Amino acid sequence: MQVIRDIDTLRAWRRSRTEAGETVALVPTMGYLHEGHLSLCRIAASHADRVVATIFVNPTQFGPNEDFESYPRDEGADIVKLAENGVHCVFLPTVDMMYPTGYDTFVEVQGLTAPLCGASRPGHFRGVTTIVCKLFHLVQPNVAVFGLKDYQQYLVIRKMVQDLLMDIQVVGGPIVRDLDGLALSSRNAYLSPRGREAATVLYRGLTAAREAYEAGERDPRVLREVALAPIQAEPLARVDYVEVLDAETLGEARPDRPMVVAMAVFVEKPRLIDNLVLGGSPGGRSEEPG
């Protein structure tokens, strides 16, 4: 696996792949890698000849009072994990490289970014689409793989690709969970043992909503209440949002269309997110992701 730390070398690597007639899949990450990230690398390997992973904690997607400075980092361990999971090239840029002095250009998707994390974290998606757009220009991937754990992000990236006429296939990878259902996240590292236990309420809420849906409940307000109940019963959990929305548009949910139950919950220090699609495949597509 090639470890690349500057833009010129990355561009040269990409040119050589084109000359060799190879396709490239990209997996963007912020590092501190876990099985969720690694599953995306393996999915990427099944879609292209070469896999590029990037590790970059992107300052523009963090709010002023968020955890940019303290976000967990372990570059050495990450490089070993990527090499063991079919990645051919890892790109580790610095903030100065990705945001040259005086930068003044952003990419922003409207509409889909209004609810959920867009409402709770103003500017977050503008930071995400801007950095992903830059990485797309540098890597020029044929395929890009994103986790469905960040469901709204996946829809927003798909929309950016569509709207900006980018010739990139966006693939969604299933959420990887721990044995008790907690979605893997780099931020789980912030949890105390008691907090880690409390964090299972997110999945318990989602499971309760799924059971109600499977028993025939279709009223989004009722499904929301069902998902909310176990979370509100946990003293260490503080709800940021729990919403049931249309799984494709993130507009109002309708009983006859796929819905997404999406939530963001503070448990001790970290804000954890999770989601579940009811009545269809993620993003409203007929085929399974990945």
- Residue ranges binding ligand AMP (CB under 6 A): 29-30, 36-37, 40, 146-147, 149-150, 173, 175-176, 183-186
**Which residue is nearest to ligand AMP, using beta carbons?**
147
For 146, list phi and psi in degrees, rounded to 5. -130, 150
SS3 for 93-140 is: CCHHHHCCCCCCCCCCCCCCCCCHHHHHCCCHHHHHHHHHHHHHHHHC
The residue (of 29 and 60) whose beta carbon lies closer to ligand AMP is 29
| Nearest distance in Å: CB 128, ligand AMP | 9
Cβ 146 to ligand AMP shortest distance, Å: 4
Nearer to ligand AMP, 147 or 283 (CB): 147
- The minimum distance between CB 249 and ligand AMP, in angstroms, equals 20
Active site residue 88: no
DSSP 8-state class, residue 206: H
Q: Which residue has the tokens 């969604």?
A: 172
Write down the least CB distance from residue 32 to ligand AMP, Å: 7
- 226 vs 260 by CB, closer to ligand AMP: 260
Query: Residue 174: CA atoms inside 13 Å, Cβ hemisphere, count?
Result: 7
Residue 50, helix vs strand vs coil: strand
**Toward ligand AMP, which CB reaches closer, 36 or 205?**
36
CA distance 149 to 282: 11
> Which residues belong to the active site?
37
